[in-house]
Structure formats: structure tokens, C-alpha cells
Amino acid sequence: MHAGARLIDVREINEFTAELGHIPGAELVPLGTIEHAAKDWDKLAPLVMICRSGGRSARATQTLKRLGFKEVVNMKGGMLAYNQAGLPVEGKNAS
């Protein structure tokens, strides 16, 4: 991931706090709200789009690029791959 990049999780709120949790510091911006939310964002700031498996975040990445964002990337494999790698998460519901 890009150092200093803004992490945008495009899942729904119930997924953000579910079994996969979320990356510490990630902002929840559900995919359906991305265009509205991005109106006030810096189009030159680096952004990393995150979802469960990489599909919705790929759509968010395309949308933002279409809106003129220059440094936006999709986190390939999403939170499934992130969890599989054993990286730190927060917001996980206790099992």
C-alpha cells in the first residue's frame, strides 16, 4: 500500500465491524455514497480503496478515476487477503 495514503473502505457498516474487521485508520465510505463523499476530497491525494474481496473497491477506483482522481488504487484481494496475511485489524465482532 501507499505510505501516507488515505484508506477508504467501501463496504457497508455491518461488514466494517463484522468477522473480517477493518484496517486500523480506514474510513468507511459505502460504495453507494462514494461520488457524493468524494466531492470535497483532494484529487491529488493518494487513496486506497478497500472492500471484502476487491470487486466493489475496483468499481470505486474506476469511479474516482473517472471523476479526476489521480492517485487511486484498488487493494487487490480485499479484506479476505488482508486477514489471510495475518495483518492487524480492528472492529472485529467477538466470536
Q: What is the pLDDT of residues 61-82, one digit of tens each?
A: 999 999 999 999 999 999 999 9
Q: What does the pLDDT read at residue 92?
A: 75
pLDDT for residue 95 is more than 90: no
Q: What tens digit of pLDDT does each residue of 6-49 get?
A: 999 999 999 999 999 999 999 999 999 999 999 999 999 999 99
Q: What does the pLDDT read at residue 4?
A: 85
Identity of the residue numbered 31? L
Q: What does the pLDDT read at residue 3?
A: 66
The residue ranking higher by pLDDT, 4 or 26, is 26
Q: Whole-structure pTM over 0.85, yes or no?
A: yes
Cβ contacts of 31 within 8 Å, gap of 6 or more: 10, 11, 51, 56, 59, 60
Measured distance CA(37)–CA(15) in Å, rounded: 19
